[in-house]
Structure 1
Amino acid sequence: MAGDGYVVQDAVGRPLEPHLEHDFYTALRYARHTQHEVGLRYWKHSARVLDVGCQLGALGQVLADTPHDYTGLDMDSSVLASAQASLPAAHFLQGDVESPSVTRNGTYDVVVCSLVIGLLKNWRQAYLNMIRLTKQNGHLFLVDLLRNPWHRPPGDHSVLPYIQEQVARSLTWQEVEELAHAARSWAGNRNVRLRRLLDDGTRLAPDASHCAQPDRDGLSVFELWLHPGNQLPTERDGA
């Protein structure tokens, strides 16, 4: 277990390899961002949450002290075994969100996909499946890297080859806008929010790349959120 209380080990209790530990803490930052944006900590009722491409279950770790029913979905059985060992009360499914067989219409109150969709071959179908998995009055929250020519590496954070590879395989802003346009057609009575963020290796914040002199370096990120109603959850009023 790491110093901040989060479990960082494999299924038999061995410490993770350095690159996997780096992935875990990156996923934790994105999980905390997701929890804050969707307001999950402040909901007054238990929600069924699906984490698509859950890897080691970072979002499950963040939600462990909440009443929510967390399910992680991933294709890697060894990763799921490690996640289950760390989160014995959570649910984990092995499967491919690109496949129609994974779709159980309207099952989840919240579907989250973090740092995954750009790595999928058929990301359009995967996104449609995620919409189908979400209840009619539910939330679908995507956050991922962007493949942009103005991506500005935040020092050592992006020199690792696998991070460079993930950036190279990520969606362009034009492709993300295509997803947002499709979401408005598929989303029914839900609203769609799309915005660009910057990940400086420490936090996610609004991107200043349109400015003549951006104040921070970082990786370009997008956030696409389908949510019910006109008012977003807040710390004050919950969901």
Structure 2
Amino acid sequence: MQSFLTPEQHADLYDAENTWTVAEDFFLGFIDEQPRSRVLDLGCGTGRLTIALAEAGHRVTGLDPHAGSLAAARAKPGAHAVDWIDGTSAQLPPDAVFDAVLMSSHVAQAINDDNEWHRTLADVHRALRPGGRLVFDSRDPQARAWERWTPGTTRSQHTLPDGTGVQLWIDAQERERGLVAITEHRLLADGNREFEDAVLAFRNEQQLRTDLAASGLCVDSVLGGWQREPVGRGAGELIVVAHR
């Protein structure tokens, strides 16, 4: 469908929707446990957390397949301290080595194709030093979050830096094999409408453990919330910590 927003406006809207939360506090604190780490932010988006990691003294690489998001990231203050790569984990240099890899903002769920998911985990395994750590979040399918993604509960209004007004809402529909289709609707102040479709993978805890083990990664813990609650008692999350 035709978009009435420019790539820059899309990036601004993403930042307006996705502000710093307790999740970013968790990921930053996790990486800070090992000072001056070599870090890969896989699926870095517009670089909010990526740049914060660099400002905390880590050597950071931000990787994302969305050119518009990376362009916005590269334009932000502090972006010069980050190495940016356009693409997926397949574009990692063969000699790249990291102490830690993170996937925040439920990036793992956006990798909805099983073959691509397994390849991503294999790439992560290859890029981590022995003992290097992986951390990522994925929504617990037992919490059935998509049932609460309705126009009535997700509707919001944003004004972009250039003054453009955008009203948006989401609806979702469960599919087979743990997949959920979502559509984000956008209504601009001038009356133009657009929408964007996506499919998210909801993998349960056992699936995640099995997939990581198959890639050679050892799961250290799976948490249910950002205060390190057990699965089922937190925020409906599956926060996975693993190592090579």
Equivalent pair of 2:231/2:237 in contact (CA under 8 Å) = no
Equivalent pair of 1:111/1:130 in contact (CA under 8 Å) = yes
Q: Distance in 1 between matches of 2:229 and 2:153?
A: 19
Q: In the alignment, does 2:170 pair up with 1:161?
A: yes
Unaligned runs of 5+ in 2: 1-5, 156-168, 173-180, 184-197
Q: Distance in 1 between matches of 2:94 and 2:81?
A: 22
Task: Give the SS at the match of 1:161.
Answer: strand
Q: Deviations over 1:97-151 (max 9, x none)?
A: 2x3x536366111100111111112222212221221111211111122334643
Q: Name segments (4+ residues, structure 1) moved above 6 Å.
A: 154-157
Amino acid corresponding to residue 161 of structure 1 in structure 2: I
Q: Distance in 2 between matches of 1:74 and 1:16?
A: 13
| Aligned Cα root-mean-square deviation (Å) | 3.6
Shift of 1:204: 5.9
User: What is the percentage of aligned positions where both structures have the same residue?
Assistant: 16
Q: In the alignment, does 2:94 pair up with 1:104?
A: yes
Unaligned runs of 5+ in 1: 1-9, 198-202, 211-215, 229-239
The equivalent of 2:187 in structure 1 is none
The equivalent of 1:196 in structure 2 is 224
Q: Distance in 2 between matches of 1:67 and 1:146?
A: 32
How many pairs align?
196
| TM-score normalised over the length of structure 1 | 0.66
Shift of 1:83: 0.6
Q: Distance in 2 between matches of 1:179 and 1:165?
A: 22
| TM-score normalised over the length of structure 2 | 0.65
Structure ID, larger Rg: 2
Equivalent pair of 2:135/2:242 in contact (CA under 8 Å) = yes
Q: Structure 2 vs 1, CA of residues 207 and 157 (structure 1 numbering), >3 Å: closer, same or farther?
A: farther
Bigger fraction of residues in strand: 2
The equivalent of 2:158 in structure 1 is none
Q: Structure 2 vs 1, CA of residues 19 and 183 (structure 1 numbering), >3 Å: closer, same or farther?
A: closer
